[in-house]
Amino acid sequence: MNTLRRALVIAGLCAMCHFAQHPAVAQQSREPKVIYHFPNEQDTLQLYHSFSVVELEQLIALDTALVLIDLRQPTDYAAGHIPGSINMPAEKIDRQFRKFRAMQEAQRNVVLISEDGKLARDFVARLCKKNIDRVWYLQGGIRAWTTLGRNVQKGSPEHSTKDN
């Protein structure tokens, strides 16, 4: 993320230097002004650490190293979850940090799922700050998944994680 920001800053500085050295070019140009947007943390989370329902569906079909983690409570998980996902209620994530580190070291790709996507996005941000970078979240959460008519599996969290 910092690399992108540096590249944008350098490009902006180069453009400013060019127009400072050649002011006639800047005045003659009828092109629209370039507005540089430096992404904030929420932008980069949205752009780089999330998947839409369609993207996740394609990823599930292709990625054998994918781990889907449903952050909802066991009762909500049992009412309907994405097939193949495991249940890890949000309040247990901090105690499971070692598991996230181990999944990263094993080059596993992790997608967090919450009810509407917001809680999962927040946890992705927290994990990224701890240098766990193989994590994403489902935009719109399980609601978006079911709204688009995708299959859900019902039943208790047989594969839920246990505290260590």
Residue 90 lies inside a defined structural domain of this protein: yes
For the residues 138-152, what does the mean pLDDT come to?
96
Alpha-carbon distance of 12 to 34, in angstroms, equals 9
pLDDT-based confidence at 1, cuts 50/70/90? very low
Does a structural domain hold residue 155?
no
pTM: 0.69
For residue 135, pLDDT over 50 is answered with yes
Angle ∠(158,161,163) on CA atoms, nearest 5 = 135
Question: Average pLDDT for residues 107-131, to the nearest whole number?
Answer: 92
At 87, the pLDDT band (50, 70, 90 cuts) reads: very high
The most distant pair of C-alpha atoms in the chain lies apart, rounded to whole Å, by 70
Residues 64 and 143 in one domain: yes
**164 lies in a domain?**
no
- Asked whether residue 60 is assigned to any structural domain, the reply reads yes
What's the mean pLDDT in 82-97? 90
pLDDT(101) > 50: yes
Tokens of 119: 């809680």
87, 109, 118, 144 from 115: Cα distances, Å = 13, 20, 8, 9
- Same structural domain for residues 69 and 138? yes
Q: Is residue 154 situated within a structural domain?
A: no
Q: How many CA atoms lie within 13 A of 147 on its CB side?
A: 11
Give mean pLDDT, residues 87-114: 90
pLDDT band at residue 89 under the 50/70/90 scheme: very high
Answer yes or no: is 14 within a domain. Answer: yes
What is the DSSP-derived secondary structure letter of residue 51?
A: E
> Are 32 and 58 contained in the same domain?
no
Residue 16 has pLDDT above 50, yes or no: no
Which is more confidently placed, 158 or 84? Answer: 84
